[in-house]
Amino acid sequence: MTHPSGYGFDTLQVHAGARPDPATGARQTPIYQTTAYVFRDADHAAALFNLQEFGYIYSRLTNPTVAVLQERIATLEGGQGAVCCSSGHAAQILALFPLMAPGRNLVASNRLYGGTVTQFSHTIRRFGWQAEFVDFDDPDAVRGAIDEDTRAIFCESIANPGGAVSDLDALARVAEEAGLPLIVDNTTATPWLCRPIEHGATLVVHSTTKYLTGNGTVTGGAVVDSGTFDWSASHRFPSLSEPEPAYHGLKFHETFGPLAFTLHGIAVGLRDLGMTMNPQAAHYTLLGIETLSLRMQKHVENTRRIAQWLERDPRVKAVTWAGLPSSPWHAVAERICPRGAGALFTVSLEGGYDACVRMVEALEIFSHVANLGDTRSLVIHPASTTHRQLTPEQQEAAGAAPDTLRLSIGIEDAEDLIGDLDQALTKADGKTATG
């Protein structure tokens, strides 16, 4: 995968956005642990606050360490710009904030992460926003859910927890027909497996907490803008196309063109919502991204071996990894994620809920935690944890039924992981594998 700059992914994940520190020559990006920045003079300060000049004002808005991370993620995703924030959930609100208004809605996949379903089902209603959940495997269902108040279409590239792969090309066509932005959560895939902008996405969101950082140390989020959407083509997006009172009538899209969404995210979103990423978190994520491609190769390699082994095991009812030929999403996965279908999937046990509980408690290498995308292998029972707030019908649609476990496969030795799963399955139902 080569960037327009001519550099490959592995080079960009190490170098994009970073330069030796001009003051000290430090090669690694420093942690600029400061809240404020000295202005050259009064005119310089006024120009910064009036968006007439780019620079650093206050770390709620901009910070040099975070700025490097923003450029690196935008580059890897093939976007025009990015805004980093405090978490993946914050990134979702930051992405929707310029688009929505009271009475407006978005059309969302019914296979989203449980916390996202809760955020879209309940929390955003306090802003007067609504979400309509439909089966994104059916583009006609998506098309049919759009009305005159719809302002965005939202899905995950690889769904959490089940690993279903969205047909981004088909969804982008629906979005284009409707004149709406397609927002894709690319957390589970990462830009190494999938670049949604190349499939027509307008915006990409990430929980940088997961694979981008990769070591379970800090939370963070990012919103990447493709820079290709015409925010002035209709009157649907006044925050970007109409005069902004807080900046003396400045029109973001008219003034900043392809950077309009990114600069609005900083100058209005971070300014007023305050969901800032701290510079130390940005530093940890920058370190993680340096090895992203190496880790993702190992994640996918391990997942392939483990999913194939689990599918043959008679104690297992179903395995949802889209890399398996038996998966209904296999053909889509080969087109959308040609390097592999990620490292997150679910497994349903013949012994049902009780077997799931016993298996979780018997695992030794797998950690029972509410996270994914770590170098360590992780397990959780979604119906009683991450998807607990959902109705039984929503749990079924999301692939989080009571007999289902979510596995996030790490980069340990695959044989050790298979051995751990084998002994835990035996303790879960008292049977040994025969497949």
Percent of the chain with pLDDT over 90: 88
Distance CA 314, CA 316 (A): 5
Q: With 80 as the cut, is the pLDDT of residue 380 above it? A: yes
Predicted pLDDT of residue 368: 95
Among 241, 261, 288, the domain boundary falls at: 288
Q: How many CA atoms lie within 13 A of 157 on its CB side?
A: 34
307 and 425 both lie in a single domain: yes
Predicted pLDDT of residue 40: 97
Counting the structural domains of the chain, the total is 2
The answer to whether the Cα torsion of 119, 123, 129, 132 is positive or negative is: positive
Q: pLDDT class for 433, splitting at 50, 70, 90?
A: low
266 secondary structure, DSSP code: I
Nearest CA among 138, 120, 142, 137 for reference residue 129: 120
Strand 221-225 with 316-319, pairing = unpaired
Predicted pLDDT of residue 387: 65
Predicted pLDDT of residue 402: 84
Predicted pLDDT of residue 376: 97
Predicted pLDDT of residue 274: 97
Q: With 50 as the cut, is the pLDDT of residue 435 above it? A: no
Domain that holds residue 315: 293-429
Distance CA 27, CA 199 (A): 35
Among 288, 321, 337, the domain boundary falls at: 288
251 and 192 both lie in a single domain: yes
92 and 25 both lie in a single domain: yes
Among 245, 267, 288, the domain boundary falls at: 288
For residue 228, tell me if it sits in a domain.
yes
- What is the token pair recorded at 101? 């208004």
What is the length of the chain?
Answer: 435
Burial class, 360, CB count within 10 angstroms (exposed 0-12 / middle 13-18 / buried 19+): middle
Question: pLDDT of 313-352, one tens digit each?
Answer: 999 999 999 999 999 999 999 999 999 999 999 999 988 8
Distance CA 365, CA 159 (A): 24
If you average pLDDT over every residue of the chain, what do you get? 94
Percent of the chain with pLDDT over 70: 96
186 and 314 both lie in a single domain: no
225 and 186 both lie in a single domain: yes
Q: With 90 as the cut, is the pLDDT of residue 388 above it? A: no
Predicted pLDDT of residue 353: 86
- What is the token pair recorded at 343? 């490292």
266 and 329 both lie in a single domain: no
Residues 95-116 have a mean pLDDT of: 96
Question: pLDDT of 117-173, one tens digit each?
Answer: 999 999 999 999 999 999 999 999 999 999 999 999 999 999 999 899 999 999 999
Predicted pLDDT of residue 401: 81
For residue 58, tell me if it sits in a domain.
yes
